[in-house]
Amino acid sequence: MTTHDSTLLAAAVVESQAGYTQSIRTGKHHFQADEPAALGGADQGPAPYQLLVGSLGACTAITLKMYAARKGWELSPFTVKLKLLRENDVERVERVLSVGPAVTEEQKARLLEIAAKTPVTLTLSRALRIDTTFASTP
């Protein structure tokens, strides 16, 4: 028999509002997601795919800033730009890093290696299993 340890990485509660607007609570934070008007939404917040790439970009930026701080590297100005693309039935993310002039080519190469290993990058790169069930009725 195999045992599996589970570690909670994140949790969220999403409550459906009018139309396609969704109220999201995660920890002490509250925000909304929605579809753009062109897709029938009210554009009250980012669309789900925007949240997905935003999450990847935030994780990338935070991880690289932590790494650079430990090394004493100055990244500023530092930006992560992302695009989620679908080509036929294959989806991929283009991630482009921009750093300041103080960053050397060797440092850039190391930052690319670290970017490939950020937590959200690794999660999205693996086959993410999603288990869906209904809550029990009271």
Cβ pair 60, 52 in contact under 8 A: no
* Angstrom distance (rounded) from CA 124 to CA 115: 13
| % of the chain surpassing 70 pLDDT | 94
pLDDT tens digit sequence for 18-65: 999 999 999 999 999 999 999 999 999 999 999 999 999 999 999 999
* Angstrom distance (rounded) from CA 89 to CA 91: 7
CATH class as words, domain 47-130: alpha beta
Domain definitions of the chain by residue range? 10-46, 47-130
Global pTM reads: 0.89
Which residues have C-beta within 8 Å of that of residue 64, sequence separation ≥ 6?
75, 78, 80, 97, 111, 114, 115, 118
Q: What is the pLDDT of residue 133?
A: 77
